[in-house]
Structure formats: C-alpha cells, structure tokens
C-alpha cells in the first residue's frame, strides 16, 4: 500500500489538484482546473472563511460542519479545503496543528484534494442511503487515523440518507472520538433532521454576486490567454445565477463555440438569449403601447433564434431591474449590467410609476407560464405582448372611478389628443418626452378601450338613476337606519358590531373594522349602499383613529346610566333595606311617562 504522505510529496510538482502523477496528460475542464485549493482561492464566501479562520486560531473547532447552498457554490470543495486545513503538515514538521494558512502543499494536501487519502473518506449519500452504509462509518470511526492528524468523513448530499440512517448517526455525531471530524454537504437543508442540524455548525454558502463572477472569469480568461468581450462575460455570469461551477462550465463551452475570441453574439447564440439592447427596445414599445413595434421587434428576435420564453424571461428581468433602480438607485451601479442597461434603466425608473411596473411584472409572470404550457409558444408569447401593450395606457380601478365621479375623461376638443393630455397628468405613465421613450403614448387601441370603459361606467349610473331615486346619506346612524329599513339584518348587525367610523360623507364611507369582521363586508356594504341609494358609494378601510362601534357606544352609555343609578341615594337606601337585592335592568323613561312609571323599550337609534 502506498503511503499517502509519499504519494502527496510525489505529486506536489504537478500543476493543479485534479490529476495524479500516474494520470494521463489531457485537457481539464476549467471547473476542475481552477478549483480552489485553499481558503484564499474561495470567492464570494467571506463570512464563512472569517468564521472558520477565527475558530482555527482560537482552537474552537467543532466536531461537525454542515455546508448548504445551491449547486456549484463550492460545498464539496470547501469540505476538502477544511479536511486539508485540519491535517495540514509540512514535511519538516514546522506546522503542528490545524491552520487555514497553507501557502504550499503539505504532506497530505495532494491526496486530500484528489479524494484518495486513506484518512479522508468521502461518501455520496445519494447512492449510499441505508443503515449499513452509515454503520461502516460508525464502526470505523473508533480507529485512529493511519497517517493524518484527523480522520475526516465528508458526506455529500447528506439529505438523501434514510431516516434510519440518520438515527444511526446521532450518537456518533454527538460524541465522536477526538480524532474524528464530520463534514456534511447538502442542497436541501430542510430535509436534514433537526436532531442532526443541532449537532453541527452550519454554514450557508451564498450565491456569488455577478460582479465577482465576472472578475473571476476575466482572471481565468487572462490565464488561459483567451480574449472575451465584457458583455459576453456578463451574459455568462447572469446565466450562471450565482454558481461558480456553472459559470466556468459555460465559459468553457463558449470558448469552444467561438473558436477564438469569445464575443457576445456567440454567447447569445449558444445560450439562446435575446439581445439585451433589443429587449430594452421591446420594453420601450410595450410601455408606450405601440403593439406594432413590439410585434416587429419580437419577431425579429425570434427569427434570429431567440426562444420566446427566453425573450419574456429577459423582459421580466429588465422590469425587475427597472423596479429595483426605482426603489434603490444604487442598483444601477452594478457591474453586472452594461452601460446601455444602466442608462436606459435609470431613464425608465424616473418615468414609469410603480403601479405600471408591478402590472407588467404580474402579466409577464402569468404569460411565461402560459407560454411554457402552450403548443405554439411563439403565438402565446405574442398574445402576452398584446395584453401588456393594451394595458399600457389603461387607468387603475381607482383612477377610473375617480374619472367617472368627475365626469369622465375629457373628450378630444379642437383636435387635442386626449391620450397626450392624460400622459401629462401626474398619474400618467411617463412625465416628459425624453428619447428613446415617446412620452405621448398615443396607443389608439388602448385609448379606445379606456374611453369605452369609461363610457360604459358612466352609462350604468344613468340607467340606475332612471330606475331608482337617489338618497342622500350624510351620517352613520342614517346608514344604519337605512339598513334596518331595508330589513337587511346581516348588514345592520355588521354596522353596529364590526364597523368603527372614521369619516362619512355622501357617497364615501371611511371605516375601521374589528378583527372578527367578515372579509367581504366592505364589498357587500358598497354594493348594498349603491342599490339602496341609486348612486355609487366608495367604502374604504382606514388605519386612522376611529370611533368605537355603535354597540360599544351603547354599552358605554348603559354602564354610565347604571353607575349613576347605583350612586343615587334613594337606590342605596333601598339596597340597604333589602340586603342581597341587585339591579337587573336600567332603562331611560320618557318624561311624559315618568309619573306613570311605565317603562318604554328604547328605540334602535337611542341605543
């Protein structure tokens, strides 16, 4: 049997950590060739490196770690680096304990990084899920390491172990021998039992930022003597979605695809992506309601090979980018976006309202799902674009109601375009004309739909006015009395018990609701009031200070009345003469009946 130490020293002259001395020479993919060998090489995991560094320096090394994160962020690589740090030892014996500072290869480093060290055992839990596999570990953990300082067990995809296998691990994991360490890696941390998590020190390896991935790819391109356009590297970094391994695999593929300089067009063709500049043009056409230009741009992208789903996804990504720039302008400074995206993103963020961006986002989310399920994705994607373009200039429901209450949108007079007038209002989609966005947004179909919608909404109240007389209500008790008059017991009870008045005026009711109020109460009340009064009512739930409910007010008045009666000297004399007597009912009696001592039940509006 070959001593791992000797094997490691023999392989120290090799470049990298993936091929041993006996392995045949050949091409190594970038993901393996540039696999990190020390904590200094890890990118994007500064918090984890700092925690491990402090633990090693203070000697507070746990018996088990669990590493979690998405694919390709370095879980298995980090586990091997930890195993190397635990067993780092120079041939001259100058290092006597675990350390994260490993400037040169130690006795065991090469064998550990190549997964062939006798004392660093790796197991794939996806193919070894049973109790028998775990029993081999628990039986062998009691034996001392053959040559290294620690016996390290690396279990990848640990969440794949069966429940029985996890239970067999618990005792050994909680009280392992001093020479044993466990390192678990998983992409599904929620599937790991809490009894196992509580025995491990957990590290969440985060997705690597696009800026960091771009810098890493640029560095590797320089080492490989490969020229690459910055836009091409940005595309690869975005497509990798925070995975270092995916970014290197895509870059490897792009180098082979380009057979020379890696250009953005080559990467776009390889990944089936749409041109980002053209995606922005498509966004501008949709925002202005120009469906003809949107169709033309979409078809041009489709004809050169862009996938319809990818086009919609890129469009949704740009909507998200504009929204983030609107909320946090510093987002536009990220190096993951090109100069055109940053400039146009700031321009759109300044001109588009949040409600418009939110509406586009919702339509795209639903549209992407529809396109994925459609038998003809290109047609489904075009219909999604139609929906977005036609909704570009439509008002929100509250704006439509406000326009109706004020007489509807102004008609075109003296040749004035109503759409241009509407676009100049504060609620317009864009505020001023600035290239490359057309501020007029004169989308004839969208405007026609808006005017038809407003005309229908105006016609309905007129028809109702002819069929039912209008009632004017200016106080809350009048509303309650009307509900009683209409014999709507449920609405009357809700108004008395669940509604706290904030403000009321004819046609508008602002209230606060009790916790046990029905969720449909606001809509039901608005609909009932419209039916009863023959005109529209707006019912709004407010967080402003509100009056108590009518029931609470009546109860407070009743309590005040009972307290006043009990404080009356005559009542106290009666209570003193008849011990044990108590007041049952206290009612207000009209003055005309006071002498006759005839109680009268209170009316509803007096409670």
Give the C-alpha separation, 378 to 356, whole Å: 25
Evaluate whether 501 touches 531 at the Cβ level (below 8 Å): no
What is the CATH architecture of 476-547?
2-Layer Sandwich (3.30)
Higher pLDDT, 437 or 152: 152
Cross-strand partners of 538: 508
Evaluate whether 158 touches 187 at the Cβ level (below 8 Å): no
Distance of CA 144 to the CA centre of its chain: 48
Residue 152 confidence (pLDDT) above 90: yes
Tens of pLDDT, residues 154-164: 999 999 999 99
Find all residues with CB under 8 Å of 542, minimum gap 6, and list them: 502, 503, 510, 511, 512
- Which DSSP letter does residue 228 get? B
Residue 2 confidence (pLDDT) above 50: no
Give the C-alpha separation, 313 to 367, whole Å: 10
Cross-strand partners of 156: 124, 185
Cross-strand partners of 66: 184, 202
Report the residue count for the chain: 607
Give the C-alpha separation, 378 to 42, whole Å: 42
The pLDDT value recorded for residue 383 is 92
Tens of pLDDT, residues 489-518: 888 888 888 888 888 887 888 888 887 777
Residue 3 confidence (pLDDT) above 60: no
Give the C-alpha separation, 418 to 422, whole Å: 6
pLDDT band at 23 (very low <50, low <70, confident <90, very high): very low
Structure tokens at 121: 């055992």
pLDDT band at 395 (very low <50, low <70, confident <90, very high): low
- Whole-prediction pTM value? 0.53
What is the CATH architecture of 276-390?
Up-down Bundle (1.20)
Of 119, 100, 99, 97, the residue nearest 108 (C-alpha): 119
Give the C-alpha separation, 55 to 302, whole Å: 54
By mean pLDDT, which of 28-32, 54-58, 394-398, 545-549 is the weakest?
A: 394-398
Counting other chains too, the contacts that 252-257 makes at CB distance below 8 Å and 24 or more residues apart are 252/29, 252/30, 252/31, 254/228, 255/224, 255/226
Give burial (CB, 10 Å; 0-12/13-18/19+) of 519: exposed
Cross-strand partners of 228: 262
- 3-class DSSP assignment, residue 350: helix
DSSP string, 168-195: HHHHHHHS--TTEEEEEEES-GGGS-HH
Evaluate whether 389 touches 297 at the Cβ level (below 8 Å): no
| Residue for token pair 């406000």 | 402
Fold (CATH) for 210-271? Helicase, Ruva Protein; domain 3 (1.10.8)
* Distances, alpha carbon 605 to alpha carbons 51, 127, 474, 484, 559, in Å: 70, 77, 16, 10, 17
pLDDT band at 274 (very low <50, low <70, confident <90, very high): low
Q: What percent of the chain has pLDDT over 90?
A: 9
Residues 216-230: what's their mean pLDDT?
89
Give the C-alpha separation, 417 to 427, whole Å: 17
Of 179, 132, 106, 186, the residue nearest 154 (C-alpha): 186
Structure tokens at 1: 């049997």
Helix intervals (H) in 272-338: 276-287, 291-303, 308-327
By mean pLDDT, which of 249-253, 326-330, 415-419, 590-594 is the weakest?
A: 415-419
* Distances, alpha carbon 87 to alpha carbons 83, 108, 147, 239, in Å: 6, 7, 10, 37
Find all residues with CB under 8 Å of 42, minimum gap 6, and list them: 36, 48, 49, 74, 77, 78, 81
Higher pLDDT, 50 or 414: 50
Q: Give me the numbers of helices (H) and strands (E) for the chain, helices first please.
A: 27, 8
Do β-strands 201-204 and 499-505 pair in parallel, antiparallel, or remain unpaired?
unpaired
Higher pLDDT, 27 or 385: 385
67 φψ region: left (φ > 0), alpha (ψ -120 to 50), beta (else): beta
Find all residues with CB under 8 Å of 299, minimum gap 6, and list them: none
The pLDDT value recorded for residue 5 is 42
CATH annotation of 4-204: 3.40.50.300
Cross-strand partners of 512: 500
Of 156, 153, 94, the residue nearest 125 (C-alpha): 156
Cross-strand partners of 503: 510
Residue 457 confidence (pLDDT) above 70: no
Domain residue ranges in the chain: 4-204, 210-271, 276-390, 397-467, 476-547, 553-606
């Amino acid at each position: 049997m070959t001593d791992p130490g000797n094997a490691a020293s023999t392989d120290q002259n090799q470049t990298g950590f993936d091929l041993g001395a006996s392995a045949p020479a050949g091409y190594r993919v970038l993901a393996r060739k540039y696999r990190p060998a020390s904590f200094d090489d890890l990118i994007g995991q500064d918090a984890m490196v700092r925690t491990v560094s402090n633990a090693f320096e203070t000697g507070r090394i746990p018996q088990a770690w669990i590493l979690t994160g998405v694919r390709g962020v370095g879980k298995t690589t980090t586990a091997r680096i930890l195993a190397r740090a635990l067993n780092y030892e120079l041939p001259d014996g100058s290092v006597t304990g675990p350390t994260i500072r490993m400037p040169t290869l130690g006795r065991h480093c090469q064998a550990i990084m190549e997964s062939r060290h006798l004392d660093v055992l790796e197991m794939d839990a996806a193919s070894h899920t049973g109790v028998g596999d775990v029993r081999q570990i628990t039986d062998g953990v009691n034996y001392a390491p053959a040559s290294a300082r620690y016996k390290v067990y690396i279990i990848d995809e640990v969440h794949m172990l069966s429940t029985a296998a996890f239970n067999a691990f618990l005792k050994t994991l909680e009280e392992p021998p001093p020479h044993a360490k466990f390192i678990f890696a998983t992409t599904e941390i929620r599937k790991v039992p809490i009894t196992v998590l509580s025995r491990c020190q957990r590290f969440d390896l985060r997705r690597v930022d696009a800026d960091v991935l771009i810098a890493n790819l640029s560095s590797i391109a320089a080492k490989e003597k490969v020229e690459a356009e910055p836009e091409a590297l940005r595309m690869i970094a975005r497509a990798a979605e925070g995975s270092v391994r995916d970014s290197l695999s895509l870059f490897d593929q792009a180098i082979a695809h380009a057979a020379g300089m890696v250009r953005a067009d080559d990467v776009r063709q390889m990944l089936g992506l749409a041109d980002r500049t053209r995606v922005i043009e498509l966004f501008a056409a949709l925002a202005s309601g120009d469906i003809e230009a949107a169709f033309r741009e979409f078809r041009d992208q489709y004809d050169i090979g862009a996938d319809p789903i990818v086009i919609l996804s890129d469009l949704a990504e740009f909507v998200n980018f504009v929204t983030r720039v609107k909320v946090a302008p510093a987002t536009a400074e990220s190096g993951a976006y090109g100069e055109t995206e940053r400039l146009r993103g700031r321009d759109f963020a300044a001109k588009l309202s949040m409600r418009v961006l939110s509406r586009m986002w919702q339509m795209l989310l639903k549209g992407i799902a529809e396109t994925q399920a459609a038998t003809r994705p290109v047609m489904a994607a075009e219909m999604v674009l139609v929906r977005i373009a036609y909704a570009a200039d439509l008002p929100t429901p509250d704006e439509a109601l406000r326009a109706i209450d004020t007489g509807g949108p102004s008609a075109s007079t003296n040749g004035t375009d109503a759409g241009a007038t509407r676009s100049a209002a504060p609620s317009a989609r864009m505020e001023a004309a600035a290239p490359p966005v057309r501020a007029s947004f004169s989308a004839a179909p969208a405007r026609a739909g808006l005017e038809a919608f407003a005309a229908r909404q105006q016609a309905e109240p007129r028809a109702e006015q002819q069929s039912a007389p209008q009632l004017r209500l200016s106080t809350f008790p009048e509303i309650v009395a009307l509900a009683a008059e209409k014999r709507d017991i449920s609405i009357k009870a809700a108004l008395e018990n669940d509604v706290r008045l904030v403000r009321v005026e004819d046609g508008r009711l602002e209230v606060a609701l009790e916790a046990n109020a029905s969720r449909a109460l606001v809509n039901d009340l608005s609909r009932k009031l419209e039916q009863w009064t023959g005109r529209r009512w707006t019912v709004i739930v407010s967080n402003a200070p509100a009056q108590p409910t009518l029931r609470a007010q009546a109860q407070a008045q009743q309590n005040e009345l009972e307290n006043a009666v009990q404080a009356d000297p005559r009542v106290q004399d009666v209570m003193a003469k008849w011990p044990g007597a108590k007041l049952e009912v206290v009612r207000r009696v009209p003055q005309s009946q006071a002498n006759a001592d005839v109680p009268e039940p209170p009316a509803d509006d007096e409670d």
